[in-house]
Chains A and B, each alone.
Chain A
Amino acid sequence: MDEARFEALGSSCHLLGVGLEPGQLSWAAAWVGKMHHRFSRFEPDSEISHLNAQTGEWVDISLELEGMLRTALEAYRLSGGLVHAGVLGSMLAIGYTRSLSLGPTAAVLSGAQPPPPLPELLEVGERQARLHDGFGIDLGGIAKGWLADRLAADLGDNCLVNLGGDLFARGAGPAGQGWPVGLGGRTVLLSEQGAATSGTWRRAWDQGTDRLHHLIDPRTGRPAVSDISEVSVVASRAVDAEVYAKAALLLGCESAPAYLAEHSQGWWFAPQQR
């Protein structure tokens, strides 16, 4: 088994494979780095920055960005509006204006407002998209999940792609029983399955008496207040697991189990400590 670890997409990435061609992992790591530069909102020349800067008009986009934006619309539908890629305004208002490795900037919480439904502010056509004036897109975990699924499809018949916790396991794994993956402190064997985790304790900071974090609840436009601190989900794709995990966290302990039972193949969640 070969593996590679590297930093990209603002996260730690881990690629594994059995029977890969020489140089495949190097190619894959370079591909992830290239995707980071194309789809990070912190890169001024990225495709997503270009789209966010040209609201109100149709903008030519790549096939990859079209796929991510269509997935964002699907995520909105699957989550009943809870997974909303159009919360960039709230992200900026809470001070998440740059990579958190540089620290957040001052928050102006009055600017964190609930956005309209995603289909009302984002239109996606064939190789083009249009954002309505005053709104922006933050692909966040959707990009990581989408890229993990995509890379796993190209990397090899027996591989695992883990991009910041959003992962897809393809093939029978190193011992033929599936890929052994840590989830909620246990080991689960995954094959042709994705997994992802959502939580409020990472990418979090204090401003005055407010505890801020990156997971925005589109119903309030503010950082989510949930009685769940962390959710891990197994689904048929990494991006699906990402969507279900985030939606479950926003739903909270009472409603999350029924939602996850309907949509996912397995889950683990931890309630907030009181």
Chain B
Amino acid sequence: MHSLLLKAAATALTLVAAAAAAVHVGSHVKNAAAPLHPGVLGAPPAISSPSAGSLKLSPAVRTSDVQTVTSTYVS
């Protein structure tokens, strides 16, 4: 009888904890649109965006709208 009571109490406690956790998680849904914190390691700073830079090409180098196959980058 004593062990049956203990089992029932443990089961009830587990169910209450699970229900409380579900309520807590449901009311604290993560904003999927939030920025990553910390920033992704190795990502370039905003200053290296093309619009912030200055491009000069001689006639030996042509530009194109073709999709690039690879890029030069800082390593």
Contacts and interface: CB of A to CB of B under 8 A. Distances in A.
Given A265-B60, A268-B55, A196 B72 contact: yes
Nearest to B61: A266
- Specify which of A167, A173, A184, A188 lies most central, judged by the most chain B CB atoms within 10 Å of its CB: A184
A253 B46 CA distance: 18
Interface in A236-270: 241, 257, 260-261, 264-270
Given A183-B72, A184-B50, A202-B42, A260 B56 contact: yes
A271 interface: yes
A199 B57 contact: no
B48 A182 contact: no
Given A178-B62, A187-B63, A268 B54 contact: yes
B56 A188 contact: no
Interface of B: 42, 44-58, 60-75
16 contacts: A10-B75, A11-B75, A165-B72, A177-B62, A177-B66, A179-B69, A180-B67, A181-B72, A193-B60, A230-B47, A234-B60, A241-B72, A257-B54, A260-B56, A266-B56, A269-B54
Given A257-B54, A266-B55, 14 more contacts: A162-B70, A165-B74, A167-B72, A175-B66, A182-B72, A186-B55, A187-B65, A188-B57, A188-B62, A193-B60, A264-B58, A265-B57, A266-B56, A271-B47
